[in-house]
């Protein structure tokens, strides 16, 4: 059998292994709360189905071609790009809000936990800004 989509095969193996492990954990260490147990088993079965589907599609020439065409589709790439940009923008505002909340809570309560929230939010915002600047410089030089 020839592998037509190595990336799909790898993801299929990862999803199948994760689904099998989660299903094993659900059966071996069952929760006493029935709705939680049902939810866990259903999610594990979905993970297994996604993994097996990806694994099988990696060996099909037609399915692999469809996956590559869908992956290189301009509209799909634009949607992924816009989604990533919007997600990054929203997460930046959430981090900024957490930083302000941590600072205000620390000022009023003088509890070190709130200071840590301020510190870690500030560090992640700083790291995101540095990475953004580095990426902008990298892409400006390449084009």
58 & 29 share domain: yes
Q: Are residues 63 and 80 in the same domain?
A: no
| Best CA proximity match to 43, nearest among 23, 24, 27, 25 | 23
Arithmetic mean of pLDDT, 117-138: 91
Q: Do 41 and 86 sit in the same domain of this protein?
A: no
> Based on the domain organization, do 39 and 79 belong to the same domain?
no
Residue-wise pLDDT tens digits, 66-109: 888 887 888 888 888 899 889 999 999 999 999 999 999 999 99
Residue ending a domain, choose from 57, 72, 87: 72
Residues 91 and 134 in one domain: yes
Task: Say whether both 95 and 126 belong to one domain.
Answer: yes
Q: Do residues 61 and 94 both lie within one domain?
A: no
Name the region of 111 (left: φ>0; alpha: ψ -120 to 50; beta: rest): beta
Q: What global pTM score does this model have?
A: 0.58
Angle of helix 61-72 versus helix 34-57 axis, rounded to 10: 100
- Give whole-number Cα distances, 113 to 6, 48, 142, in Å: 46, 40, 43
Q: d(Cα 19, Cα 27) in Å, to the nearest integer? A: 12
Is residue 1 situated within a structural domain? no
| Residue 19 CB partners (closer than 8 Å, separation 6+) | 44, 45, 46, 47, 48, 49, 50, 51
Last residue of a domain, one of 72, 102, 118: 72
* More confident: 28 or 16: 16
42 pLDDT band, cuts 50/70/90, is: very high
Q: Is the same domain home to 67 and 100?
A: no
């Amino acid at each position: 059998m020839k592998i037509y989509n190595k990336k799909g095969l790898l993801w299929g193996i990862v999803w199948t292994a994760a689904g099998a492990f989660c299903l094993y954990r659900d059966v071996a260490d069952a929760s006493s709360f029935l709705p939680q147990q049902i939810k866990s088993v259903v999610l594990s079965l979905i993970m297994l189905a996604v993994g097996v589907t990806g694994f099988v599609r990696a060996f099909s020439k037609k399915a692999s071609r469809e996956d590559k065409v869908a992956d290189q589709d301009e509209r799909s790439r634009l949607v992924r790009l816009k989604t990533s940009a919007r997600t990054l923008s929203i997460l930046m505002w959430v981090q900024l809000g957490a930083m302000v909340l941590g600072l205000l809570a620390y000022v009023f309560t003088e509890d070190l936990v709130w200071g840590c929230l301020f510190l870690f939010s500030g560090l992640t915002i700083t790291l995101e800004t540095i990475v953004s600047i580095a990426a902008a410089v990298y892409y400006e030089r390449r084009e």
